[in-house]
Amino acid sequence: MTLLSLRSAVSATASIAAIMGVMAVTAAPTSARADEGMWTFDNFPIQTVNDKYGTRIDQAWLDRVRNASVRIQGCSASFVSEEGLILTNWHCVVGCVQELSSPGNDYVKNGWMPASREEEKRCPGQTAEVLVDIVDVTDRVLAAGAGLEGAAFNAARTAETNTVQTEACAGDGKFNCQVISFYRGGRFALYKFRRYDDVRLVFAPENQAAFFGGDPDNFNFPRYALDAGFLRAYEDGEPVESPGFLRWNPNAPAEGDPVFVAGNPGSTSRLLTMSQLERLRDQQLPLTLIQNSELRGRLLEYSLTGDEAKRISFDPIFGLENTFKAQYGQHQSLLDPAFLGARRDAETELRGRVAADPTLVQRIGDPWAELEGVQATARELFLSVRQLEQAAGGGSTLYQMARTLVRASKNTSMTEAQRARMATALGAETPISTDMEEIRLRYWLSKTREYLTVDNAEVKAMLGRESPEALAERLISGTRMADAAFRAQAAAMTTAQLAEADPLLAFIIANDAAATAIGARWAAEVNAPTARAAEKVAQARFAVYGTNQYPDATFSPRLSYGRVEGWSYRGVTVPAFTRMGGLYERATGAEPFNAAQAFLDNESRVNKETVYNFSSTNDIIGGNSGSPVINAAGEVIGTAFDGNIHSLGGAYGYDGALNRTVSVSTAAVTEALRNIYPNPRLLEELGVR
């Protein structure tokens, strides 16, 4: 799960959610076998784990871990000192590193390691959140949608959800209150997060240390990656106090040791019905893979045009290749007859047990058939809603910001405070590459024309008499949206004023009615009936299998358990550990298998026996990147940064024999801070002698 770099993380998460067409979350599996499960902190199988691993987990242990666990944009993290120091992955902070860089100061390449705390720099837009309270609000949310359908159902639900959130946070900006749907609508809970919005970059190694092996090694193991970085949360200009931090253990675990991963798995689809999975397999994933491949080719070719192009495109390519590989793996699992057959059998069993119980049939009807009907609608609308709304702009940052402005200008229910927050957010300085923006926009326009066809009314309206290439060039070269001051100012404009002020805004405004219309149809005709039917499936599962289940991932705090372990596949056994010396053996000198300069310079100092990366049976998925890996004593012993190739099917199911979490050990981070990137200041703060 080198899943999510910081910035692409946000959009990746958003687009995954959009792609899934999922408002709610998933129902739980038949039964939690092996080390399966991304458990909520209020329903962790304490007894099961203690029995299996001889640990002594209790509620107090869980609370400590929860209070030290941090959610950041698209990733996970943890407090590791009492002064707000946060451990996460390098790839979760590289977006920030890139934003702090410039043509002359390439911190992505050279690493970011300020000598003093005063030089720690703020990461634009970065927040850190700690879950402090969970309140069940299932009854309120279900009551709000009762008896309603389509757009009315969505509106009632959204209104009630907003009310719950507003009441709970009471306008206090130090908190973020979020109603989250679990078990695909089986349960709704208010999650209250303590929120820090001044988060600064403390340490990032050279990209070649963190990203050694690049895309070819991504989702593979053995690995040799120092995919770790540090942030620090500040408030009122001072580091926050974080007394409940996880103690840093500089020693590696042993094979078989029980380990816990606390983080925010982004999205799983383990309890989608067969008809939903088949649509993903036959329509959504292939189309997404094909389009992403073309964009990948465009970006790769662009990256070869010069050093600056290479620098600028590093993070976007990294994010795209990561998303591509994850989705490719997901698609492969859905194409595997054995894998899908097991899902089919499980569904048949559940449906059979429901059918055998007249009361249950009476209560829930046949949501599987309902969802099958919804898929026909989804197939019909998918291309349009994807091209015109969900994936509109092709990942262009300027387009995204411009659309935010346009939609806000038309939103009469937005408060002054909300508008001010938007102005602040949009007014933040952020480096924009005109080249990358233009590539993305023309890619999106040309694919939209290709898939919706030239004679489609929306396509005609978008392109007029221009080509995708000429239109993209005109909009990007003409827009003022790259100017932060203009964006802040534009936040106060009316729709008409926006259209006057800027060609990109004018373009979006001209085509926004069509985009919002197809988005509204999707919400009413796909999302709403999906949510209603999925709730019934969840109720069936609770009725048949009880509540000892974990919900599908929802990018909210979860805990998984497991042990340090390698695996065997087709006669090949992969050991659980790699050692730092292995890096030097694997390095060829050619990208992306060139060792980082500091690793080469300090080779004689490095203890090559140090455990570098390790694999464990924990059940995680994209969004878990940066999660602390915790031993039974509650100490941090690593940070999870990837899954093995088999874990990609984890979107749809967990296989205890093959799915593995891949982490960088605190032992390796400690060794690096001692002998590769010497940093006594951080070592002292981590309590390492």
List 30, 48, 220, 400, residue binding its own copies (CB under 8 A): 220
List 50, 158, 283, 511, residue binding its own copies (CB under 8 A): 283
Query: How many residues comprise the chain?
Result: 689
Is 2 exposed, middle or buried, given 0-12, 13-18 or 19+ CB atoms closer than 10 A?
buried
- Binding to its own copies (CB under 8 A) within 571-590 occurs at 588-590
Smallest gap from Cβ 173 to its own copies, in A, equals 43
Which listed range, 64-72, 465-473, 501-509, 654-662, lies at the site for its own copies (CB under 8 A)? 465-473
CB contact at 8 A, 675 and 608? no
The residue count for binding its own copies (CB under 8 A) is 46
Smallest gap from Cβ 111 to its own copies, in A, equals 22
- Binding to its own copies (CB under 8 A) within 417-436 occurs at none
Q: Is residue 503 at the binding interface for its own copies, with CB under 8 A as the rule? A: no
Tell me the CB-side half-sphere exposure of residue 494, using CA atoms within 13 A. Answer: 2
Which listed range, 163-171, 185-193, 446-454, 556-564, lies at the site for its own copies (CB under 8 A)? 446-454
Other C-beta atoms lying within 10 Å of the C-beta of residue 413:
6
Residue 217 or residue 552: which is nearer to its own copies going by CB? Answer: 217
Q: Is residue 568 at the binding interface for its own copies, with CB under 8 A as the rule? A: no
List 290, 355, 356, 513, residue binding its own copies (CB under 8 A): 290
Residue 215 or residue 512: which is nearer to its own copies going by CB? Answer: 215
Q: DSSP labels for 503-522? A: HHHHHHHHHHHHHHHHHHHH
Q: Is residue 289 at the binding interface for its own copies, with CB under 8 A as the rule? A: yes
- How many whole angstroms separate alpha carbon 433 and alpha carbon 444? 17
Site mask for its own copies (CB under 8 A), range 200-219, x = bound? -------------x-xxx--
List 162, 293, 418, 607, residue binding its own copies (CB under 8 A): 293
Residue 469 or residue 635: which is nearer to its own copies going by CB? Answer: 469
List 82, 197, 366, 469, residue binding its own copies (CB under 8 A): 469
Residue 328 or residue 545: which is nearer to its own copies going by CB? Answer: 328
Smallest gap from Cβ 291 to its own copies, in A, equals 7
Which listed range, 14-22, 194-202, 250-258, 466-474, lies at the site for its own copies (CB under 8 A)? 466-474
Which listed range, 142-150, 420-428, 458-466, 656-664, lies at the site for its own copies (CB under 8 A)? 458-466
- How many whole angstroms separate alpha carbon 623 and alpha carbon 267? 8
The backbone region for 485, taken as left when phi is positive above 0, alpha when psi lies in -120 to 50, beta otherwise, is: alpha
- Binding to its own copies (CB under 8 A) within 10-69 occurs at none
Is 563 exposed, middle or buried, given 0-12, 13-18 or 19+ CB atoms closer than 10 A?
middle
Q: Is residue 305 at the binding interface for its own copies, with CB under 8 A as the rule? A: yes
Smallest gap from Cβ 227 to its own copies, in A, equals 17
> Dihedral sign, CA of 542, 545, 547, 550?
negative
Residue 48 or residue 597: which is nearer to its own copies going by CB? Answer: 597
Q: Is residue 294 at the binding interface for its own copies, with CB under 8 A as the rule? A: yes
Residue 125 or residue 503: which is nearer to its own copies going by CB? Answer: 503
Smallest gap from Cβ 401 to its own copies, in A, equals 24
Q: Is residue 197 at the binding interface for its own copies, with CB under 8 A as the rule? A: no
Cβ partners under 8 Å of residue 33, min gap 6: 656
Smallest gap from Cβ 83 to its own copies, in A, equals 41
Q: Is residue 464 at the binding interface for its own copies, with CB under 8 A as the rule? A: yes
- The pair of structure tokens assigned to 90 is 């390098």
- Return the beta strands (E) in 366-504 as ranges: none
Q: DSSP labels for 36-104? A: ---B-TTS--HHHHHHHH-----HHHHHHHHHHEEEETTEEEEE-STT-EEEE-HHHHHHHHHHH-BTT
Q: Is residue 298 at the binding interface for its own copies, with CB under 8 A as the rule? A: yes
Q: Which amino acid is at 656?
A: G
CB contact at 8 A, 85 and 229? no
Residue 256 or residue 575: which is nearer to its own copies going by CB? Answer: 575
Residue 186: DSSP 8-state: T
Smallest gap from Cβ 590 to its own copies, in A, equals 4
List 118, 236, 585, 591, residue binding its own copies (CB under 8 A): 591
- Binding to its own copies (CB under 8 A) within 313-352 occurs at 328, 331, 335
CB contact at 8 A, 79 and 245? yes
CA trace torsion 100, 106, 108, 110 (10° rounding)? -130
Smallest gap from Cβ 9 to its own copies, in A, equals 23
In 262-336, where does DSSP find H-type helix? Answer: 274-279, 285-303, 307-335
- How many whole angstroms separate alpha carbon 461 and alpha carbon 507? 10
Which listed range, 297-305, 362-370, 487-495, 662-670, lies at the site for its own copies (CB under 8 A)? 297-305
Cβ partners under 8 Å of residue 571, min gap 6: none
- The pair of structure tokens assigned to 296 is 């990948």
Distances, alpha carbon 219 to alpha carbons 89, 130, 292, 316, 405, in Å = 15, 28, 18, 18, 38
- How many whole angstroms separate alpha carbon 80 and alpha carbon 248? 6
List 415, 454, 573, 689, residue binding its own copies (CB under 8 A): 454
Q: Is residue 525 at the binding interface for its own copies, with CB under 8 A as the rule? A: no
Q: Which residues contribute to the site for its own copies (CB under 8 A)?
A: 213, 215-217, 220, 282-283, 286, 289-291, 293-302, 304-305, 328, 331, 335, 439, 443, 449-450, 453-455, 463-467, 469-470, 588-593
